[in-house]
Amino acid sequence: MPYPIKHYIWTWDLASSPEELWPLVSNTDRFNRDCGYPSVTLVPPAEITGPHAMNAQRLRTHHFGLVLEWDEKPFEWAINRSFGVERLFQRGPFSCISARCELSPRQPTGTRLTYQVWFTPANLLGRLALKLGGATWQFHRPFDRVFHEYDWLAQAGLQAARRNRYSRFSPGGAARLATLKGTLIAEAGNSRELINRLTDYVVTVDDLDGQRIRAYALADRWKTGRRDTLRLCLQATRAGLLDFHWDVLCPHCRGAKAVANTLSELKSEAYCATCKLDFTAEFDRSVELTFTPNPAVRHVPRTDYCIGGPQITPHIVIQQTLAPNETRPVPLNLTPGRYRVRVPLIDRPWQLRIEPGAARAATIGLVTAAPDQDEIVLDPGATLTLINETGTARLTVIEHVAWTNQSTLASEVTSLQLFRDLFVREVLRPGGRIAINSLTIVFTDLKGSTQLYRTMGDAPAFGQVLTHFDILKSAIDAEGGAIVKTMGDAIMAVFPRPAPAMRALWVAQRQLALAQSVVPWSGPPGSAALRSPLLLKAALHHGPCIAINQNDRLDYFGTTVNIAARLCGLSTGADLLISDTVRRDTEIGELLKQQPDHVRTEVERTTLRGIEGETFEVYRIRRG
């Protein structure tokens, strides 16, 4: 005999607005932890038994000595308004638990929070648990405590709970922290204020936030500059205050789907169980560097309490699953801006713009064919009707296009001189290769060095060549780039973008000229007339390439690298060669415009040695 469904409705009147409460109450991972629920684990595909719900993830937990196992369907939500989830159990006293939380604005201020839960008992135990008030003890009471606490946090303007009661030092951790702080202060270039902030943060950060500390998110919150904050986090890792991990992000939902402790553990293929999608890791899109406190200072367990709530993928403002042949009107309530309506398995998303005064209704058919690219423009209060014309359930998400990306991507980190200097061993495994969609490659070569050695003598000439390396390294470092390798008097360097590379090369060329003008002539007497100035041939190109391990060093190869090398061969040393791709970069355009009049750009059409059958448009930039 099936047991009847038991339905509960609880309400709370809270002082904060729905918008203030949303980031807290929709963080289901933290909410479940704060309610005192046990952690959950994802059941590996090989261990899944019994019927498996479509698009669901199999999860397991232990509670009151019972093993609970369930298929969790994707959460559904609409930002600032509602979220809910359905769990279909394979093991435990219930066969299904559905929950839905709604936030509605109260007049004049505040929120009415309504929480509904539907229980379907699987057996007598489930039935009895409900009869004995299990829902009140297990749900209503902890919810009551946590919602009131979140209301207080929201009133205090705190977006995340900072719970000292969860933080604990490892044995000897406090003393170690004090020593490490001293080490960081002693290192040149670190602001004392930033060090204090970081060390305080390591002590007070909530366990769940501490699992994935993002340097750029800290920088944005503290207003301390992204590069400075990242540099300090890297130095703190080297010193032993932090550890870092490489997280592989799903390109669709941007959730972290795999973790590698070192680059050598990184695999180029990954799978997202949420999106049911195989994908390839890419250094500049899907590999993110995150930090966690070093366990010798503070132990932060990697624990999940919920894996699918709205705050796991905060750029998604609306997520809905439509049943086969379902039509669903979705009230948007979105702030003006650009959004994308995306359906996994349909390649091209719909473009959506929210603009006050625009249309108040539109309809989208979630067909299998790719949609046309027309932009849909709607009023913030409009309703978007989704029609699932197919015979299968369809997950639909609406996401922010200009969502602040606070990811520190692998392409950026590995282009930092400090990273390459501090973590020499952070290389891919031999034979490993990871794609990069865009990277700026720089080549330089010293012109006139052969003659310099001849006229000046080996030792002094060598000194000059070394000076040139120092000049280059500091110019490249200052602009956030890194030297990959040196080959004789030539170097190869990388930057995330072309503009900083161009600035670095200009500085290096200028300083090299300056350094020589002040160095007294130390060659053989009478040979000063033969003195030829050292000139820096330089070129940059930007494009896709592959990161590899070459001679136990993180190196790059591909056509972009070859073209940059060939361009350098065309440089006279009194100029800078850039490709057409670099010339068309908006930042480069701005940079050239800002320069005084004496910058001349000459365009040439040429073929490049080793790249036959193609003519290249290259630009020679001369500064007077």
Shortest distance (Å) from residue 273 CB to Zn ion? 8
Q: In this complex, which beta carbon is closest to Zn ion, that of residue 316 or of residue 434?
A: 316
x/- mask, Zn ion, residues 141-180, rule CB under 5 A, reads ----------------------------------------
Report if residue 272 touches Zn ion, rule: CB under 5 A: yes
Instruction: Identify which of residues 22 and 279 has a Cβ nearer to Zn ion in the complex.
Output: 279
The reply on whether position 252 binds Zn ion by CB under 5 A is yes
CB of 252 to Zn ion, least distance (A): 4
Name the one range near Zn ion by CB under 5 A: 134-142, 187-195, 272-280, 533-541. Answer: 272-280
Is 140:31 a contact under the CB 8 Å cutoff?
no
Site for Zn ion in 481-510 (CB under 5 A): none
Is 275 a residue that touches Zn ion (CB under 5 A)? yes
Task: Supply the minimum distance, in Å, between the C-beta of residue 243 and Zn ion.
Answer: 25
Distances (CA, A) of 279 to 143, 172, 285: 38, 42, 11
DSSP 8-class letter at 366: -
Q: Residue of minimal CB distance from Zn ion?
A: 250
Q: How far apart are CA 302 and CA 286, in angstroms?
A: 21
Q: Does 548 bind Zn ion (CB under 5 A)?
A: no
Task: Give the distance from CA 572 to its chain's centroid.
Answer: 40
Nearer to Zn ion, 14 or 307 (CB): 307
Question: Of the candidates 351, 353, 346, which has an alpha carbon nearest to the alpha carbon of residue 389?
Answer: 346
- Count residues binding Zn ion (CB under 5 A): 6
Q: Which is nearer to Zn ion, 215 or 256 (CB)?
A: 256
C-beta separation of 291 from 215 below 8 A: yes
Q: Which stretch binds Zn ion (CB under 5 A): 46-54, 116-124, 250-258, 535-543?
A: 250-258
**Cβ 411 vs Cβ 496: under 8 Å:** yes
Q: How far apart are CB 438 and Zn ion at their closest, in Å? A: 22
Q: Which is nearer to Zn ion, 145 or 276 (CB)?
A: 276
Q: How far is the CB of 198 from Zn ion (least distance, A)?
A: 31
**R_g over Cα of the chain:** 29
d(CA 357, CA 335) in angstroms, rounded, equals 13
When the beta carbons of 252 and 285 are compared against Zn ion, the nearer one is 252
Distance CA 353, CA 378 (A): 6
Instruction: Provide the strand spans (E) within 15-127.
Output: 41-42, 57-63, 66-72, 76-78, 82-91, 94-105, 111-121
**Is the Cβ of residue 276 or residue 433 nearer to Zn ion in the bound state?**
276
253 binds Zn ion (CB under 5 A): yes
Q: Mapped to the 3 state alphabet, what secondary structure does 96-158 carry?
A: EEEEEEEEEECCCCCEEEEEEEEEEECCHHHHHHHHCCHHHHHHHHHHHHHHHHHHHHHHCCC
Q: Does 218 bind Zn ion (CB under 5 A)?
A: no
- Render 192-204 in DSSP notation, one character per residue: HHHHHHHHHHHHH
* Tokens read off for 92: 């435990």
- Shortest approach of Zn ion to residue 254 CB, angstroms? 7
Provide the minimum distance between the beta carbon of 249 and Zn ion in the complex, in angstroms, as a whole number.
8
Give Cβ neighbours of residue 421 (< 8 Å, ≥ 6 apart).
none
Distance of closest approach, residue 279 Cβ to Zn ion, in angstroms: 8
Contacts of 542 (CB under 8 A, 6+ apart): 438, 439, 440, 441, 497, 498, 560, 579, 581, 582, 585
CA 501 to chain centre: 23
Which lies closer to Zn ion via its Cβ, residue 160 or residue 277? 277
Which range binds Zn ion by CB under 5 A, 4-12, 62-70, 236-244, 270-278?
Answer: 270-278
CB closer to Zn ion, 18 vs 308: 308
Q: Give me 52's structure tokens.
A: 């498996």
Min dist CB 24 to Zn ion, Å, is 24
Residue span binding Zn ion (CB under 5 A) among the ranges 43-51, 158-166, 247-255, 449-457: 247-255
Answer yes or no whether residue 274 interacts with Zn ion by CB under 5 A.
yes
Minimum CB separation of residue 409 from Zn ion in Å reads: 17
CB 536 within 8 A of CB 506: no
250 binds Zn ion (CB under 5 A): yes
Nearer to Zn ion, 274 or 292 (CB): 274
Where does this chain bind Zn ion (CB under 5 A)? 250, 252-253, 272, 274-275
